């Protein structure tokens, strides 16, 4: 069967409009639902060395898939400029994502450039990264020295065969665990581990994963399988609701709910009754958290997305390369955020029939989770 090559780059993104009279940033921006702009997620590559079935299924992202040419990617200087503009508008947390961000060469240079950016509040920027852990053992120390605060590692199973069923590449769990250890040793904590749970594929790993990380400084979170993008064949029957995850763990390792660390935290936290640490559940399907969503996403080649489930982006790169100044670009970003009304997870229906005809959700591998 010849591979179906679908170019998933967002070709429909109109350039952002520069306002006639841009105003100076005031360090606080709220959207149409009064949600502040606080987090920026930056995808630094559309490539990955895994083929996770819920994100980059091999059938779509095959060996001939047309990834973005390097010239299309935002340079580190452009990314840092965009970050500086967002920070002036109130962003205090930046998460580097991908694809797999550690595949981007010399990423620690970008980390150091972002680390050097002051914030209006004077508080240090909260600089984090999400990775599949495959290169972490090699990179952890350099990232920490460059100024990275924390890492989140995706790990969907402890059993190698199940892990392979989820990420569809021959990569050993032990190497990811070594990456997690290296992150702890480098001081990139608290290290969080995210497990996407897909019924019938890896849900038998829920309790073994909980047992493994219980009593360790690693915070394990379980993510409900989501209908991100348009290529993972999502089906509600394959979603294990977070309530069921908590019940399964609690049957052996009793848990009690604890409050959020901060407003807008996506994970609901549970603590082991015996003091053995905590786990989290991220319930985009059965417990939407759109009401406090403060995240904007920047794609690898400079498009802005106001939601993980957006059907179109907004081209920022054209403005960056057309010579507009920071005030003008900041004004364009401010207008985009002020007009934001996204709350996809609250409006999702079982068959996501809510999407207008011909609309296609952006791929998670393109804008980061």
The residues of the shown chain that bind ligand SF4, judged by CB under 6 A, are 289-290, 293, 295, 307-309, 342-345
Burial class (CB in 10 A: 0-12, 13-18, 19+), 178: middle
Nearest to 24 by CA among 304, 326, 336, 321: 326
Which CB sits closer to ligand SF4, 110 or 285?
Answer: 285
Nearest to 82 by CA among 71, 68, 96: 96
Smallest distance, Å, CB 308 to ligand SF4? 4
Nearest partner of 189 among 210, 217, 212, 221, judged by Cα: 217
Q: Which is nearer to ligand SF4, 2 or 34 (CB)?
A: 34
Residue 305 host element (H or E): strand 303-305
CB of residue 225 to ligand SF4, shortest distance in Å: 14
> Exposure of 174 by Cβ count < 10 A (0-12 exposed, 13-18 middle, 19+ buried)?
exposed
Cβ nearer to ligand SF4, comparing 253 with 290:
290
* CB closer to ligand SF4, 218 vs 345: 345
Q: What's the gap between Cα 129 and its chain centre?
A: 9
Shortest distance, position 287 Cβ to ligand SF4, whole Å: 11
Nearer to ligand SF4, 200 or 339 (CB): 339
| CB 102 to ligand SF4: min, Å | 24
**Based on CB atoms, which residue is closest to ligand SF4, 134 or 154?**
154
- Neighbouring residues of 71: CB distance < 8 A, sequence distance ≥ 6: none
Q: How far is the CB of 298 from ligand SF4 (least distance, A)?
A: 14
Residue pair 83/117 in contact (Cβ under 8 Å)? The answer is: yes
At its nearest, how many Å lie between ligand SF4 and the CB of residue 327? 28
Note the residue count of the chain: 369
Query: Under DSSP, is residue 129 helix (H, G, I), strand (E, B) or coil?
Result: strand
Q: Closest distance between ligand SF4 and the C-beta of residue 224, in Å? A: 12
Which string of DSSP letters, residue by residue, matches 308-350? Answer: TT-S--EE-HHHHHTT--HHHHHHHHHHHHHT----HHHH--T
CB closer to ligand SF4, 139 vs 314: 314
């Amino acid at each position: 069967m010849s591979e179906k090559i679908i170019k998933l780059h967002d070709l429909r993104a109109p350039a952002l409009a520069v306002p006639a009279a841009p105003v100076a940033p005031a360090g606080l921006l709220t959207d149409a639902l009064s949600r502040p702009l606080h987090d920026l997620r930056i995808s630094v590559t559309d490539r990955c060395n895994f083929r996770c079935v819920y994100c980059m299924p091999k059938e779509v992202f095959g060996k001939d898939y047309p990834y973005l040419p390097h010239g299309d990617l935002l340079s580190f200087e452009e990314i840092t400029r965009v970050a500086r503009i967002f920070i002036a508008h109130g962003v205090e947390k930046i998460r580097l994502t991908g694809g797999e961000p550690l595949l981007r060469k010399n990423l620690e240079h970008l980390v150091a450039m972002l680390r050097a950016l002051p914030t209006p509040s004077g508080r240090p920027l909260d600089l984090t990264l999400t990775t599949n852990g495959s290169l972490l053992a090699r990179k952890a120390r350099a990232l920490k020295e460059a100024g990275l605060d924390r890492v989140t590692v995706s790990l969907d199973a402890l059993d190698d065969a199940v892990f392979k069923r989820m990420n569809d590449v021959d990569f050993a769990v032990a190497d990811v665990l070594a990456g997690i250890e290296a992150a702890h040793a480098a001081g990139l904590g608290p290290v969080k581990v995210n497990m996407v749970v897909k019924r019938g594929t890896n849900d038998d790993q829920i309790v073994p994963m909980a047992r493994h990380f219980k009593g360790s400084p690693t915070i394990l979170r379980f993510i409900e399988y989501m209908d991100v993008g348009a290529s993972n064949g999502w089906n509600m029957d394959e979603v294990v609701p977070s309530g069921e995850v908590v019940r399964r763990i609690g049957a052996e390792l009793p848990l009690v709910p604890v409050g959020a660390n901060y407003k807008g935290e996506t994970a609901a936290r549970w603590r082991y009754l015996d003091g053995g640490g905590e786990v989290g559940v991220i319930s985009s399907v059965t417990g939407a958290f759109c009401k406090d969503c403060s995240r904007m996403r920047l794609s690898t080649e400079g498009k802005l997305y106001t939601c993980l489930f957006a059907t179109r982006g907004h081209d920022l790169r054209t403005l960056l390369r057309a010579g507009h100044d920071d005030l003008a670009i900041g004004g364009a970003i401010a207008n985009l955020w002020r007009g934001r009304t996204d709350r996809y997870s609250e409006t999702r229906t079982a068959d996501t029939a809510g999407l207008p005809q011909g609309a296609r959700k952006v791929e998670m591998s393109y804008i980061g989770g």
